[in-house]
Copies of this chain bind each other. A is one copy, B any other.
C-alpha cells in the first residue's frame, strides 16, 4: 500500500496544476461512487492518521516556525503558523464531527411525477473541483480537506509559503489515509514555485475558488480570475438603533457587535441612530458604553460636528479594530438607504421594540444577514447551526451569507422512464405532480447506503479559521 502511495506521489509531483485538477475530478467521481458509510469511514481514517502522526506533524511545524523566525516574519503570522497544544486532537475531532453529519450528497430537493411511469428527481451532488487558497495557517488544511471529502469534491490546495513543511506533511498523511478506497489524487497540494496567478487561470478545470485569508487576498482573487469566487472582501456591518428601542438591549447589542471580536467580518463598523435619541440624551448613554468598552468613536458625514466626534475617514470604512463610525439618521428609510449606499451587504441589525418597524427592516434591507434585536456577531456558520463553515459569502450567486457544506454542492436531475419519448409533446400526457420528498430521501439512502449505519447529526463541527 505504501509503495502504491509512493508511486502515486512521485507521479503527482510531476503533474502540472491542470493535470492535478483533472486527476482530482477523476478521483472525486470515485469518491462519489462510494456508499455514504464508506465515505464516512474514509474520514475517520483521516482523523486516525492525524492523531497517529501528531509527533511528525509538530516537528515539521517547528521547522516552519524556526525558518519564519529567522526571516523575522511578524508575530501575528507566527501565531497563526503555530500548531498549538491539543490542536491536532481538535482537528481530528472536527473531521469526525463532519464524518458523522447527515449525508449531504444525493439529498432530494424536488420529486415530480412528470407523466405516467416517468419520474424526475433533483438531487444534491458535488460541485466538482475546488481551489482553496489559504494563508500560512496549517490548521486550515485538515478542515478544508474534510469539507471536500464530505461533499464529494476534488480539491487543489495552495497554502502560504511559510507553512510549506506543515502543509506537505499534513497533505501526505491525509492523502495516504484516503488510499486505496479513494485515489489520493483527490487532493492536490500545489507546491510549485508559481504563484496563485497561474492557478487563477484554470477556469476550464476548476469550478469554484475559495480564498481563506485577509481581505486583501480575497479582493485580489476576486479581481483576477474567471473562476467563481466564494468569499467576502468587505464586512461593513451596521446596527441601527430605532426611536422605539429598549435602551438596555441597544447598549448590549451595540457593544457586543463591536467588542466581542473587533477584527471579525461580522463586527459593527457603523452605528446608525435615530435622531430622537440624540435629542433626548439616550445616544449619550450608548456612546458612553462604547467608550467605556474601549471603542474609539468617529462621527459620520452628517453628525461629526453635532456629536463633537472626529470625522470618519469615509462612510464605507471597515475599522477591524475597537473603533466605529456613529451616524444620526432622520428615519428608518434613511437608515436603510444608508446601508444600501455604504454597506457591503454582509450583516445589519435593527434594535427596536416596534414589530412593524422590525419587519420593515428585515424585509427592506438587502443584505446576506438581517437581524432584529440580536448582535451582528451571530452571523456565522457555527452560530447559525450549519456545522462546519466553509466561509461567509457576500456574493449573490450560488451561496450567500454563512456557507456550510451545502455551499460545496450543486444539483443533478435524474429521470427514470420506461421507453418514454417526446414526439413534439404528443407522446405523453404531462402530469407534473409533486411527489413527497421524504420517500425519495429514504430511497436514496437505501440505494447509496447499503450497509446499515446510524448517522447522527453533530451540530458542532469545527468553525471557519477566519473569525
Contacts and interface: CB of A to CB of B under 8 A. Distances in A.
Interface of A: 29, 32-33, 112, 114, 118, 120, 122, 125, 127-128, 207-208, 226, 228, 246, 248-249, 252-253, 255-256, 260-261, 340, 358-359, 362-364, 366-375, 377-379, 383-385, 396-398, 400-402, 410-425, 427, 430, 432, 447-448, 459
Contacts of A362: 414, 416
Contact of A432 (B369, B377, B385): B385
A362 B32 CA distance: 12
6 contacts: A370-B413, A372-B416, A373-B417, A383-B425, A383-B430, A384-B413
Nearest to A113: B385
The binding surface of chain A is classed by DSSP as mixed
Contact of A417 (B29, B125, B374): B374
Contacts of A411: 400-401
A124 to B, nearest CB: 11
A420 B374 contact: yes
Nearest to A249: B419
Contact of A400 (B260, B369, B412): B412
B419 A248 contact: yes
Nearest to A415: B371
A90 B410 CA distance: 34
Contact of A421 (B368, B370, B375, B396): B375
Given A364-B29, A411-B401, A412-B369, A419 B252 contact: yes
A419 B371 CA distance: 11
Contact of A384 (B120, B358, B372): B120
A368 to B, nearest CB: 6
A23 to B, nearest CB: 13
A444 to B, nearest CB: 9
A120 B385 contact: yes
Nearest to A365: B412
A114 B378 contact: yes
Contact of A410 (B118, B400, B416): B400
Contacts of A358: 416
A39 to B, nearest CB: 13
Contacts of A459: 430, 432
A424 B29 CA distance: 41
Contacts of A398: 397-398
A386 to B, nearest CB: 9
Contacts of A401: 122, 411-413
Chain copies in complex: 2
A370 B416 CA distance: 9
**9 tightest A-B contacts by CB?**
A374-B417, A385-B432, A249-B419, A256-B421, A377-B422, A432-B459, A398-B398, A374-B420, A371-B415
Contacts of A374: 118, 415-421
A411 to B, nearest CB: 6
Q: Considering residues A228, A358, A410, A427, which has the most beta carbons from chain B within 10 angstroms of its beta carbon? A: A410
Contacts of A367: 412
B246 A369 contact: no
A463 to B, nearest CB: 10
A413 B363 contact: no
Contacts of A122: 401
B422 A260 contact: yes
A379 B120 CA distance: 10
Given A385-B112, A413-B370, A228 B228 contact: yes
Most buried by B among A120, A208, A370: A120
B29 A370 contact: no
B430 A385 contact: yes
A182 to B, nearest CB: 15
Given A128-B396, A368-B412, A398-B397, A373 B419 contact: yes
Contacts of A340: 29
A247 B396 CA distance: 48
A400 B320 CA distance: 38
Contacts of A385: 112, 114, 120, 430, 432
Given A255-B421, A373-B416, 18 more contacts: A29-B340, A208-B397, A253-B419, A363-B447, A370-B412, A370-B413, A372-B415, A373-B418, A374-B415, A374-B417, A374-B421, A375-B420, A377-B422, A383-B425, A385-B432, A400-B410, A400-B412, A400-B413
